[in-house]
A and B are shown apart, each in its own frame.
Chain A
């Protein structure tokens, strides 16, 4: 059981910000929100994770609502290379196994 809900697909224009939503209404207090992406026929790539504060790294920003029931991954300036399936996952600790849901297929349009 993936414990998260994501839209099956989204489009975003190249150069614009891509905002990918995720619902995790049953998240526990000790569970982190992780985001991965999978480019076609490759292994998943870690993007970012957070507990309750907003996080930013060189790839993306993660905005978590105050009640922690949902979050948004933001790719600030999407490029064609960002076309991938994006997975939102909740897990307790970094070494815990990862259960993938269906993810969001993001299409970046030229």
Chain B
């Protein structure tokens, strides 16, 4: 089946530093990838939609200069949290859309990355 990986699975960083999270579709090409954030005991919140080769579309209230998204290839999207602060500590999850009709659902989720900012 379609597999999406994320790296790293967890990261701890100091306040003020930048952290990059990778999302890869391992066995399919993903024209669209989505980034979510989830705080403890809350639901997933969509942050942005990225399409390969074009700028990401951010949801209302998400700072595009703080959360940099790059979708440089059909199998890789990266989320960079710039100048991270403790309030950015969260569980970040990506999903990738295969666009292949007939598989039930075309979106596959990664395992998530837990970010802790000290």
Q: What residues make up the interface of A, taking CB atoms closer than 8 Å to B? A: 34, 38, 41-46, 48-49, 57, 85, 87, 94-95, 97-103
Residues of B within 8 A of A99 (CB): 46
Please indicate the chain A residues that have their CB under 8 angstroms from the CB of B107 in the complex: 46, 94-95, 98
Known contacts A44-B95, A46-B108, then 12 further A-B pairs from the complex at CB < 8 Å, ordered by chain A residue: A41-B91, A41-B114, A43-B4, A43-B95, A46-B105, A48-B104, A49-B104, A49-B105, A94-B97, A97-B34, A98-B107, A100-B36
Q: Is the CB of A43 within 8 A of B105?
A: no
Task: For residue A35, give the distance in angstroms from its CB to the closest CB of chain B.
Answer: 10
Contact of A98 among B4, B95, B99 (CB under 8 A): B95
- Interchain CA distance A36-B9 in the complex, whole Å: 21
Q: A34 to chain B: which residues have CB within 8 Å? A: 105
Q: How far, in whole Å, are A42 and B4 apart by their CA atoms in the complex?
A: 12
B43 touches A98 (CB 8 A): no
Residue-wise, chain B 71-95 has the 8 Å CB interface mask toward A (1 for contact) of 0000000000000000000010101
Kindly identify, within residues 99 to 114 of chain B, every residue whose CB is under 8 Å from any CB belonging to chain A: 99, 101, 104-112, 114
Is residue B44 within 8 Å, beta carbon to beta carbon, of the partner chain? yes
CB-CB nearest in chain B for A55: B104
Number of A-B contacts (CB under 8 A): 55
**SS of B interface (majority):** strand
B25 contacts A by Cβ under 8 Å: no
Q: How far is the CB of A91 from chain B (nearest CB, A)?
A: 10
Q: Contact: B104 with A97, CB < 8 Å? A: no
* Alpha-carbon distance A98/B36, docked complex (angstroms): 10
How many Å from the CB of A26 to the closest CB on chain B?
Answer: 19
Expressed in whole angstroms, the minimum distance between the Cβ of B112 and any Cβ of chain A is 5
Q: Across the interface, which residues of A come within 8 angstroms of B45, CB to CB? A: 100
Task: Pick from B34, B45, B46, B104 the residue with the most CB of A within 10 Å.
Answer: B104
Residue numbers in B under 8 Å from A57 (CB-CB): 104
Which residues of A lie under 8 Å from residue B101 when comparing CB positions? 94
B105 contacts across to A, CB distance below 8 A: 34, 46, 49, 94
| B49 proximity list for chain A (CB < 8 A) | 97
